[in-house]
Every structure is written in structure tokens, then in C-alpha cells.
């Protein structure tokens, strides 16, 4: 009979463990869902912000090409970039104050491709694996195309550019370049 009294006490620890485990699983599922939503919103915002930044740069570059072409041929209204599909409008006075643009069809084609890649009207916002991989591929291609265009325009990469566009020399710290153990010039800053 004594063993029946102690059996209840011994099972009490298992009952508390199982009850705590079930509560932890329930709370973890709710907290995980909330944290997952916040993480998804943050990452989605970062990617779409990058798309918007690249789209804005592309529109300015396109207008600079239009203004440069207009200044050279005095034919206003020519839309070089989109082939006449729609008129791009950035204040031309701002673009005229910028340095002259090198002439070339490859540059026009690169700007057109960049604008096609980051066009918000063609961007799929579905939460499917295919749509997500398409957005990531388009962003990678657009970042590379923007870097190529930026070099063709002779513009420097600035600190306000995306971390995708930063070069290794921008992230290095100062050092003597000797390569010794005390030299920190070859170390990269992690973000």
C-alpha cells in the first residue's frame, strides 16, 4: 500500500514535464509565427527598397540619355530607352546639370534592360517558391546591370549604395599593408 502513495508522487514530475512541454510547444508555435511574419516583412521591405532604388537610378539614367540625345540632335520628345512605349519624365533641368553621357547603343540597351528587370508593374509579389526565386534572380541581375551602367556613366559608388554594390576597397580598414599580424588592412568589415 505504501507503494501506491509514492507512485502518485513519482508520476507528478512526469505530469508537470508533459504539461510544460505542451504549453511550450503551443507558445513556441505562436511566437514562431509572429517572428516569422516580422522577419518576412523586414526582408521583403529590404528587397523592394533595393528594387525602388535601382528603378529610380534607372529612370534618371534613362532621362540623362534622352536629354543628352536631345541636346545633341535638338529633337525633343525622342524616347530612346523604351522605344516610344511611354515617356519618361524626370525634371530635364536636373539632368542637364549632370555631366555629359557617353554615346553608345550598348549603354541604352543596358539601361532598358535594367528598367525591365526592376519594373514594379512586372514584379510578382506572390509568396511562392518560384516567385521568390524569380525576384531574387531579377534583383541580382539588376544589381550587376546597375554596377555596369554606373561604371559606363563614370559615377563612383557611394556609401549610400546597397551592400551589393560596395566594393572590397570600400570596406577595408586602414593599415600599413605589410601583411603582418598587426596589419588590419586586409580584414573586411562584416555586417
At residue 45 the predicted structure's pLDDT band, cuts being 50, 70 and 90, is: very high
Cα→Cα distances 39→44, 46, 132, Å: 8, 11, 15
Quick one: cell of 51? 528594387
> What is the residue-averaged pLDDT of the chain?
75
pLDDT of residue 23: 92
Rounded to an integer, what distance in angstroms lies between the CA atom of residue 107 and that of residue 157? 18
d(CA 74, CA 81): 17
Whether 169 maps to a domain, the answer reads no
Query: What is d(CA 154, CA 102) in angstroms, rounded to the nearest whole number?
Result: 9
Flag whether pLDDT at 184 surpasses 80. Answer: no
Residue 115 lies in a domain: yes
Residue 45 resides in a domain: no
Instruction: With respect to residue 82, please indicate whether it lies within any of the assigned structural domains.
Output: yes
Structural domain boundaries enclosing 96:
51-156
Band (64; pLDDT cuts 50, 70, 90): confident
Flag whether 112 is in a domain: yes
pLDDT tens, residue by residue, 92-147: 565 566 666 666 678 889 999 999 999 989 988 888 999 999 999 999 999 999 99
Q: Is residue 23 part of a domain?
A: no
Confidence of residue 78 (pLDDT cuts 50, 70, 90): very low
Report pLDDT digits (tens) over 16-33. 999 999 999 999 888 888
The answer to the question of residue 83 being in a domain is yes
SS (H, E, C) the chain: CHHHHHHHHHHHHHHHHHHHHHHHHHHHHHHHHHHHHHHHHHHHHHHHHHHHHHHHHHHHHHHHHHHHHHHHHCCCCCCCCCCCCCCCCCCHHHHHCCCCCCCCHHHHHHHHHHHHHCCHHHCCCCCCHHHHHHHHHHHHHHHHHHHHHHHHHCCCCCCCCCCCCCCHHHCECCCCCCCCCCCCCCCECCC
176: in domain: no
**Per-residue pLDDT tens digits for 145-161:** 999 988 888 787 765 56
For 147, the grid coordinates are 554596377
Domain count of the chain? 1
pTM score, whole prediction: 0.60
Question: Using an 8 Å Cβ cutoff, are 87 and 79 in contact?
Answer: yes
| Backbone φ and ψ of 172, nearest 5° | -80, 150
Amino acid at each position: 500500500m505504501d507503494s501506491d502513495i509514492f507512485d502518485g508522487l513519482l508520476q507528478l514530475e512526469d505530469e508537470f514535464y508533459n504539461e510544460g512541454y505542451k504549453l511550450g510547444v503551443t507558445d513556441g508555435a505562436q511566437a514562431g509565427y509572429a517572428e516569422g511574419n516580422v522577419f518576412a516583412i523586414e526582408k521583403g521591405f529590404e528587397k523592394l527598397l533595393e528594387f525602388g532604388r535601382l528603378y529610380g537610378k534607372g529612370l534618371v539614367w534613362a532621362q540623362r540619355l534622352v536629354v543628352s540625345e536631345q541636346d545633341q540632335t535638338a529633337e525633343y520628345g525622342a524616347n530612346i530607352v523604351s522605344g516610344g512605349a511611354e515617356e519618361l519624365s524626370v525634371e530635364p533641368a536636373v539632368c542637364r546639370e549632370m555631366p555629359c553621357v557617353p554615346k553608345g547603343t550598348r549603354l541604352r540597351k543596358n539601361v532598358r534592360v535594367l528598367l525591365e528587370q526592376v519594373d514594379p508593374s512586372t514584379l510578382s509579389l506572390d509568396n511562392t517558391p518560384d516567385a521568390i526565386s524569380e525576384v531574387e534572380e531579377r534583383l541580382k541581375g539588376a544589381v550587376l546591370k546597375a554596377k555596369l551602367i554606373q561604371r559606363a556613366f563614370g559615377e563612383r559608388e557611394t556609401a549610400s549604395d546597397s551592400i551589393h554594390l560596395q566594393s572590397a576597397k570600400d570596406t577595408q580598414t586602414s593599415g600599413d599593408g605589410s601583411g603582418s599580424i598587426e596589419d588590419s588592412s586586409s580584414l573586411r568589415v562584416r555586417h
